[in-house]
Structure 1
């Protein structure tokens, strides 16, 4: 999966810092660009998230429209949205939506510092 980011190093720092992903690939591609991926520490051999440079002209209008409407670019499942919200807030992460229960689903939305809104979600048992 790919997430378009404004700054690959800042994205790497955020996704491996507060969000807790682990680095997988970091291959220079010439100039400032890198093939840069992270994955879940629980499944390091699973899906990798590519932190893609947001250079294509179609990316900015697309992301700007999503952010303006408060729509997350993607969603990550967590065990407990409330606990993760508090942990991340304590680390200085900015949320655009506090935990909200919607039927059996609880969500919260954060700013990834790189141009995207990311949703945290958990199904309540």
Structure 2
């Protein structure tokens, strides 16, 4: 049997990403292991602290930088996080200064919004209606 224990998101600055993802989005730091210039730095949802870990992957590979910039410039979200109420999270996060490129919008069976994670990525918040 295979399962997902961790997934990664490329970030241009691990310390800045840690602050944004914990202080703004509400994730909890799970693992922080120094690895030379960078760290093995993972976060978890407060709802599922033993669930899938989000690795804040340092952006050190040149083709990855090109890919990240192309996604960002195209307005394409790098990943999506599920929330209970997109509109409520939008209000909470805009109150904290988070910038959104797409405010809450319905699309078929989902409501979504897209935010800037300040680390080079667009992130989609989604709610199943």
- Please give the TM-score of this superposition, normalised by the length of structure 1: 0.96
Question: Which residue pairs with 1:20 in the alignment?
Answer: 26
Find the partner of 1:38 among 43, 51, 55. 43
2:17 is matched with which residue?
11
Q: Is 1:62 aligned to 2:80, yes or no?
A: no
Find the aligned partners of 1:8 and 1:96 in 2 and give their Cα distance.
23
**1:50 equivalenced with 2:16 (yes/no):** no
Q: Are positions 1:84 and 2:89 aligned together?
A: yes
Q: For residue 17 of structure 1, give the secondary structure of its aligned residue in structure 2.
A: helix
Describe the SS at the equivalent of 2:62: coil
Q: How many residues align?
A: 123
Q: Displacement, 1:113?
A: 0.5
What is the Cα deviation at residue 67 of structure 1?
1.0
What is the alpha-carbon distance in structure 2 between the residues aligned to residue 108 and residue 16 of structure 1?
Answer: 19
Gaps of 5+ in 1: none
Report the alpha carbon displacement of residue 69 of structure 1 after superposing the two structures with TM.
Answer: 1.1
Instruction: Extract unaligned runs of 5+ from structure 2.
Output: 1-6
